[in-house]
A and B are shown apart, each in its own frame.
Chain A
């Protein structure tokens, strides 16, 4: 017997919706009561009393959520932790990993229309009279056993290139910073969805009871040309305990965590116990999950009062470590110092650590600016890989490096022998991953001779996200959260796992 009537066409018949379908909707209600005007009148009079008190139906929503979480993990995970080095601003693929020697002969020539294929440009360069091809002024050399081409700007990264899985065929849909970075972090160009780290925290929970599952570190020494907002590591509609917690450099690493002056904190625990009781009392009447989140956050904050100073404390790190991560690493809050801190957090089994380093948005003056950027990040990035590797942590830690998009082959503004700029280019760019579950020493995907279009193995942002979740043991299609009547996931309705890079 079928349950699929023509007039039921707007109803979903998967089991998840049974609860919803069973609740009497307005249309059914009216149909039933039109048998008599009296019935209609009476029905609407009694309607609220009859249907208003359906606590069972309300419990059903929690059931769906619990079922989704109970099924996790969906795969045997390869990675237990992730450290995501986000290069905010869009690092140029031309000066880093995507070697295009053929461009030197074409220097200054206009980008052929056959390559551009009428694709959109940003407002910043769309009105240029010419789009002159700008080859990288930096030299490339082959490194490692894999003989991988890496730019001279990244000598330290070049030394660990055999550990990297370089993907040259990433592409995005957004052409400007905020939508692009929001897309990368949350799977949607519009703000409001949970960040990758929040999804991971929600799906897999914590491996360390004293520290947050998702920790964010923002370099103080990146040029703040493009802003970062806390919503990039926000929990969106997921319970608020899954939001990324930013650790800052200096005396107050986590805001409002320190005891205020003149208070020794001795009766803090007792105070919190009373507060918890009060909150529970409140919650027994309201049943608001935010109250529960608040209770657990207070307890977490209390534990963090000991755990955070401990992990922020660098005095046990030997000089050799600071030498390895570079001179900046002694200055808390720099990218290099954050890399050491990231390693310490990973050692404590913090599941998702995300670093942000701004300043890669080189529309003009690129050669000078990118040199500064690379100097600030190259040594520490490579040191992090080496350090994790020798400690055996690369076994089950995934390292990700990349920005929100790439840059154009043509120069934005005037091209000279020593100077040029590059505009945003979402159609292809390079990222790399290293560690748990990905093939070391692999270069995946290819771009055309202009690094303008992808010619082999394209990897969409959603594909990257699906792969990251897969490595953590999550099927990106099955980790969903129901919000405002719709089930959401990180990869929206797209995303294919990039099987070619899995080890």
Chain B
């Protein structure tokens, strides 16, 4: 179980590390106080304190190394911390050597030089400590920015949102900040604030006001994703189409400036819904799910976003086939197998319970009459309806009158006539009515 002991010991590093800090600090204190008359005697304690600090520093280094093996730490910061820590231990050891009798016999350091070296050691300790803090808490944990940072309240409407502060800046930090922020600075670019964007990275300014196509940032996020210069690199999640459009608009129309409320800018009509969606605002329209293939599908906004899985299960238990056509919004395609022997009373209520989610429905060949099917008016989002091979008469068209989204109705092999077909097609706007093997006339093949 030796491996676990390593991990365990490694985790003691944050505890152990404070011992050399205390001892070395005490050594500095004793040495400096030694200059005063009152505490001159403390100077003789410096070598012992230094020795203790050295021993503890070596221990802290060993434990720290164990910790570095198990943890997932930023490599650069880690190596800084490691070097500073080992250096600290070595210098503490050397300083102790300077105080030994054997060394003094060879060479004596003046008290002033010794004190200067001790204070220098203190400085190094501060540096090592800060790097260590950055490792555990993140490099942005203790920076000057924290002093001046004020969190922006989340805008409650698109009108009051600032295009840079509320949208572009958080967007860039979220999608690019992992590599382009103080502490990482890949390509020497930080997306932290507008100033750093305008300063840019090694390829010049990241944004050029008014000119998206000349802006390095915009070029990099819009090139062929297979290109090696495409950003975000290494297959990290790319910016969504909508986000790219917002950035384009910000650079072109908002002149890549900060402090500009969207409402105050010209040509903002097209961008508003996109910003609203990005911010998760905009009333009924929830933030759209990004359609990754970039294909616009016209989905009826009245379809409820979700459906109770219990109700779907209920339908399945009754022998209906329920196919999930889409998860969000929850679109269902329900089929009652032909010749199921079910009466409409068996299934009507269960269908109505998920009525708004049923988009395609197939009740063909089940001996239903048009009065049986009066409940179909409740399934207001129906788009395709199959009722063929049922004893249905012209009355069915009245039951379907409320269905505004109905595109296709299959009434093949029913008892309908031309009246019903006409009514559905002409008055109710159903695009395709199938009436093969009915009294309604057929278009010539």
- Residues of A with Cβ closer than 8 Å to B? 1-6, 12-14, 31-33, 35-36, 38-39, 42-43, 46, 50, 71, 73-77, 80, 207-208, 349, 386, 390-392, 395-396, 470, 473, 475, 477-478, 497, 499, 502
Contacts and interface: CB of A to CB of B under 8 A. Distances in A.
Nearest to A41: B2
Contacts of A31: 69
Interface string B383-409: 010101000000000000000000010
Given A1-B138, A497-B293, A39 B388 contact: no
Contacts of B325: 73, 76-77, 473
10 residue pairs, one from A and one from B, having the closest CB atoms: A392-B410, A392-B434, A390-B436, A76-B326, A39-B2, A5-B75, A2-B74, A1-B138, A42-B2, A395-B408
A58 to B, nearest CB: 21
Contacts of B235: 12, 14
B388 A75 contact: no
Nearest to B323: A207
B412 A392 contact: yes
Contacts of B323: 80, 207
Interface string B276-298: 00000000000000011101010
Contacts of B138: 1
B3 A33 contact: yes
Of A43, A50, A207, A392, the most chain B CB neighbours within 10 A belong to: A392
B326 A6 contact: no
A43 B3 contact: yes
B432 interface: yes
A340 B47 CA distance: 100
A80 B292 contact: no
Interface stretch (B32-40, B86-94, B251-259, B327-335): B327-335
B436 A391 contact: yes
B124 interface: no
A149 B75 CA distance: 67
A6 B74 CA distance: 10
A32 B326 contact: no
B360 to A, nearest CB: 7
A185 to B, nearest CB: 22
A478 B293 CA distance: 10
A80 B333 contact: yes
A499 B293 CA distance: 10
A327 B2 CA distance: 82
Contacts of B321: 207-208, 349
Nearest to A324: B445
A470 B294 CA distance: 12
A391 B388 CA distance: 9
18 contacts: A2-B184, A3-B72, A5-B75, A39-B3, A71-B327, A73-B324, A73-B326, A74-B292, A75-B326, A76-B297, A80-B360, A390-B436, A390-B442, A391-B412, A392-B412, A392-B436, A477-B292, A478-B292
A76 B436 contact: no
A4 B76 CA distance: 11
Contacts of A390: 412, 434, 436, 442
Interface residues of B, number: 47
A49 to B, nearest CB: 11
Nearest to A395: B408
Contact of B432 (A1, A77, A395, A475): A395
Contacts of A32: 3, 6, 69-70
A473 B326 contact: yes
A386 to B, nearest CB: 6
Contacts of A3: 72
Interface in B3-24: 3, 6
A499 B295 contact: yes
A32 B66 CA distance: 9
A419 B201 CA distance: 68
B57 to A, nearest CB: 20
Given A43-B3, A477-B292, A392 B386 contact: yes
Nearest to A50: B3
Of B297, B408, B412, B434, the most chain A CB neighbours within 10 A belong to: B434
Contacts of A42: 2
Given A43-B3, A50-B3, A76 B299 contact: yes
B73 interface: yes
B178 interface: yes
A170 B297 CA distance: 25
Contacts of B434: 390-392
A3 B2 CA distance: 26
B135 to A, nearest CB: 8
Nearest to A35: B6
A13 to B, nearest CB: 8
A502 B295 contact: yes
A391 B386 CA distance: 10
B234 A470 contact: no
Contact of B388 (A36, A77, A392): A392
A80 B292 CA distance: 21
A153 B388 CA distance: 36
Nearest to B2: A39
A146 B33 CA distance: 101
Contacts of A473: 325-326
B412 A470 contact: no
A12 B293 CA distance: 24
B291 A75 contact: yes
B364 to A, nearest CB: 9
A395 B384 contact: yes
Interface string B306-330: 0000000000000001011111000
Nearest to B432: A395
Contacts of A73: 324-327
Contacts of B295: 75, 470, 497, 499, 502
Nearest to B333: A80
A319 to B, nearest CB: 15
Contacts of B359: 76
Contacts of A386: 445
A76 B326 CA distance: 5
Nearest to A4: B234
A14 B72 CA distance: 16
Contacts of B73: 1
Given A74-B292, A76-B297, 4 more contacts: A207-B335, A208-B321, A392-B388, A395-B408
Interface in B63-80: 66, 69-70, 72-75
A73 B299 CA distance: 14
A125 B432 CA distance: 51
A279 to B, nearest CB: 25
Contacts of B72: 1, 3, 5
Contact of A43 (B2, B66, B75, B331): B2
Nearest to B436: A390
Nearest to A38: B2
Interface string B229-241: 0000011000000
A472 to B, nearest CB: 11
B341 to A, nearest CB: 16
Nearest to B1: A46
Contact of A475 (B292, B324, B384): B292
A76 B331 contact: yes
A8 to B, nearest CB: 9
A307 to B, nearest CB: 11
Contacts of A39: 2-3, 6
Contacts of B326: 73, 75-77, 473
B365 to A, nearest CB: 10
A1 B74 contact: yes
A303 to B, nearest CB: 13
B425 to A, nearest CB: 14
A31 B68 CA distance: 12
Of B323, B388, B436, the most chain A CB neighbours within 10 A belong to: B323
Of A1, A12, A396, A502, the most chain B CB neighbours within 10 A belong to: A1
A386 B436 CA distance: 12
